[in-house]
Structure 1
Amino acid sequence: MTATVEGVPFVTDGATGAAGVPGGPRATTVDVIIPVLDEERALPGCIETVHRFLRESFPLPWRITIVDSGSTDGTWELARRLSRDLPGVAAVRLETVGKGAAIRAGWSASGADVVAFMDVDLSTELPALLPLVMAVVSGHCEIAIGSRLLGGARIRRSFRREVISRGYNGLLRVGFRAGFTDSACGFKAARAEVIRPILAKVADDAWFFDTEMLLIAEHNGARVREVAVDWTEDADSKVRLWRTAWADLRGMVRVARALSSGAATVELPRPPDPAPAPSPPARIALVRRLVSFGLVGLASTVVHAFLYLLLRTALPVEAANLLALAATAVVNTEAHRRWTFNRRAGRRVVAHARAGLLFLLNYAVTTTAIVVTGAGPRWTEGLALVCASLAMTAIRFTLLDRWVFPRR
C-alpha cells in the first residue's frame, strides 16, 4: 500500500498508524535523505540495505531520497535506476557541490512530517534510526542527532579522529555553550516545519553545515536531543580532516558574528503544548481530600493535646490552650494548603490571614469546652479538648475549602 506525496510514494506497508506531528490523526511520514557525490561504488549497496531495513523494521510511512550534488561519475544514472526499481526511492539532481547543499535541498523540498539524513557509507548502525525519529515524533524535541560521544555509544575509529572530534566539540561547548556532544555525526532527524526556517539561515554547503544548523537551532530555542549510536569509521571516507577542521574554525567565527548580530534569528513554530493531566472524578477527589484532611487533623490534634497537657502543669487553661494551639496552627494550615487542597499557587499571605481568624474561632470553642468541664483530673481537660477539636472538623474542612483556600 502506498500514499502518494509530491508524486513520489511513501511506503506504508506495516505502518502502525502513529499520530502525525504534532499530533494529528494521520500517520507521520519520514523522508530519509542520502546525500551523494561520486559514490557509484557505495550507492547501490547503501540504498538496498536501507530499503530492506525500512521495509522490514520501520513502523512509519517512509521514503528514501537520493540527492546527487554534482557527481561526475555514474552516480546519477545509478540513482535514477534505483528510483525506478525500488518502491519508495526518489532521486534528485543538484549542480551545487556539497553535503550541506544536498541536505538543505532534500529537506526543504520534502513533503514529509519528519526529515532525516544519513551518510552513504552507513557508518552508523541502522537500528538507531527508529529511536532517532521517534524522539522527534514523540514531541520531546525538534531535532534529534546521533552521537558517538554520548554514554552508551560504541565506536571504532582512529586515535587521530577521536582527538580531533573531541577537541572540536569541546570548542563548541565552551565557545557557544552548545548543549550537544557530537555535531558532525552524519545521522540526524528533524521536524520539517521547524527545520525549514533554520535552513534558510545556514550558509555553509559543505561539512560545517551540520554544526551551523545545530548552533542556529539552539540559538532560536529549538530542542536538540541526542541518541547514542554504534559507529564504525569508513576507511574510504572523503573527509579531509585538517582541511575540514580549518574550514570549521572559520565557520565558527562566521556563525558567532551572525548570532551576536541577530542575523541568525528566526521565528520557529511553537512546539505543541503537552496535554493536561486528566482530573480525577469529583468523588475520588473528595475522598482524597477527606483522607488527607483527617490525617493532618489527627496529627495536629494529638500534638495539640500533648502540648496542652505539658503546658497546663505551669499555666492556666486559657494560656496553655493558646500556646498549644498556636504551635500547631501554622503547620496545620500549610499542610492543608499543600496536600489536602493542593492550592500551591495563589495569595499565601491572604490564606494565612483568613486561617488566623479560623484559629481564633477554634481557640474560642476549645477553651470554652475545657472551662465547661469544670475542675477535675487533667485527663478530663485533654478529653474535652479532643472532643471540641473533632467537633470543629466539619466546620474547618468547609471553611478551608471554600474560604481560606478558594478554587481559582
Structure 2
Amino acid sequence: MVFTASPALSIVIPAYNESARIGHALDEVLACVAARQWNAEVLVVNDGSSDQTAEIVRGYARQHPELRLIENDGNRGKGYSVRHGMLKARGEIVMFTDADLSAPIIEAESLMAAIQGGADVAIGSRWLDRSRQTMHQPLYRRFFGRCFNGVTRLIMRLPFADTQCGFKAFRRSVAHTIFQLQRIERWGFDPELLFIALKRGYRVVEVPVTWGHDERTRISYLRDGMKMLEELACIRWWSLTGVYDKPVRELTPSVPAVKS
C-alpha cells in the first residue's frame, strides 16, 4: 500500500466576492476530484471578500479535508491571489482556474497530460479550437480581447494564441521559480507568467480546452486593458533591468510516498 503525504495535483481558485458562484465551483471541483480519483488538494484564495465567500469555503472545508482556505491581507488582486495560492500549493503539478469554471475542471486532465508528456507549463487556449467554445463572448468582447492578445503577443513576443485564459498548470518546481519572480498583482499577470517562463527556458505547451463565457466577468476591456498595456511596458523594463534573472529561494522538497 502507498500513502502519499503530498498530493499529485493542486488546484488554486482565486476568489473575490464570489458567494454567488463559489459553492457551485466547489461542488464541481470536489465531485470531479472524487470521480476521477485524483490525489489532489484544492486551495481557495480569498482576496479580502466583503461577502460570504470565506464562510462558504470554511463550510465545505469541514466536510472535505482536501480543501484549504487561504486568506489575503485585504483585496490585493487576482495576480497576487494566484501567486499566494501557487506558492502555498504542495502538489507535483500546480494549476489555477477561475471561480466561474469557464473551462470545466475535467479539462485539467489535458493540462496534466501535457506536463506528463514533457511540458514545464501547460496553458489552456480558447482559440486553438473554436468549436469547443460552448458559449461565445459578445462581439465587442471578442474584438477587444483579440486586439489585446495581438498587442500582447507583439510586445512580449509570445507565440501563443491565447495568453489570457485563466486555466494554467505548472510543474511545482517551475511554478516555484516563476511565481517568486512575478510582480504584477492584478489582471495583467498572465503575460508576465508566460514571459518569465520563456525567459527562464521552460517549455510551454498550449492546449485547446472547452470554454464557455460567463456574463458575470468583472474585467473591463477599456479600463483594465489600458492598465494592462502599462503593465506590458513594465514587464519589458523589468526584463531589461534583470529582475527576471535574479536567483530565487530553493524549493522545499515534497514529502515522498511512504510504502508499507
Distance in 2 (CA, whole Å) between partners of 1:131 and 1:35 is: 21
What per-residue deviation string (whole Å, max 9, x for no partner) do you get for residues 141-184 of structure 1?
11111001113552211111111121112112222221212111
**How far has the Cα of 1:265 moved from its partner?**
1.7
Segments of structure 1 that go 5 or more residues without pairing to the other structure are 11-28, 270-408
Segments of structure 2 that go 5 or more residues without pairing to the other structure are 251-260
> Match of 1:85, as an amino acid?
Q
Distance in 1 (CA, whole Å) between partners of 2:88 and 2:116 is: 20
In the alignment, structure 1 residue 168 sits paired with structure 2 residue 145:
no
TM value normalised by structure 1 = 0.57
**How far has the Cα of 1:134 moved from its partner?**
1.9
Residue 180 of structure 2 is aligned with which of 168, 187, 200?
A: 200
Corresponding residue number in structure 2 for 1:181: 161
Which has the larger helix fraction?
A: 1
> Match of 2:56, as an amino acid?
L
Corresponding residue number in structure 1 for 2:111: 132
8 Å contact kept, 1:153–1:229: no
> Match of 1:132, as an amino acid?
L
CA, structure 1 residues 178+208, in 2 after alignment: closer, same or farther (shift >3 Å)? same
Q: Which has the higher contact order (CA 8 A, sep 6+)?
A: 2
Residue 240 of structure 1 is aligned with which of 209, 213, 220?
A: 220
Distance in 1 (CA, whole Å) between partners of 2:60 and 2:4 is: 19
**Map 1:362-381 → 2, pairs under 5 A:** none
Distance in 1 (CA, whole Å) between partners of 2:110 and 2:132 is: 16
User: Which segment is superposed worse, 244-253 or 190-199?
Assistant: 190-199
Corresponding residue number in structure 1 for 2:234: 254
8 Å contact kept, 2:182–2:193: yes
> Match of 2:128, as an amino acid?
L
> Match of 2:12, as an amino acid?
I
User: Cα RMSD (Å) of the superposition?
Assistant: 1.9
**How far has the Cα of 1:77 moved from its partner?**
0.9
8 Å contact kept, 1:135–1:225: yes
Corresponding residue number in structure 2 for 1:72: 50
Corresponding residue number in structure 2 for 1:115: 94
What per-residue deviation string (whole Å, max 9, x for no partner) do you get for residues 312-337 of structure 1?
xxxxxxxxxxxxxxxxxxxxxxxxxx
Q: Structure 1 runs of 4+ off > 3 angstroms? A: 1-5, 266-269
Distance in 1 (CA, whole Å) between partners of 2:18 and 2:102 is: 15
> How many residues are paired up?
245
Distance in 2 (CA, whole Å) between partners of 1:41 and 1:34 is: 15
SS in 1 for 2:94: strand
Distance in 1 (CA, whole Å) between partners of 2:29 and 2:58 is: 16
> Match of 2:120, as an amino acid?
E
8 Å contact kept, 1:157–1:233: yes
8 Å contact kept, 1:149–1:228: yes
SS in 2 for 1:253: helix
> Match of 2:233, as an amino acid?
V
Which has more radius of gyration? 1
**How far has the Cα of 1:52 moved from its partner?**
0.6
**Map 1:281-320 → 2, pairs under 5 A:** none
- Percent same amino acid at aligned positions? 27
**Map 1:25-64 → 2, pairs under 5 A:** 29-58=8-37, 60-64=38-42
**How far has the Cα of 1:2 moved from its partner?**
6.8
> Match of 1:41, as an amino acid?
A
Corresponding residue number in structure 1 for 2:64: 86
TM value normalised by structure 2 = 0.88
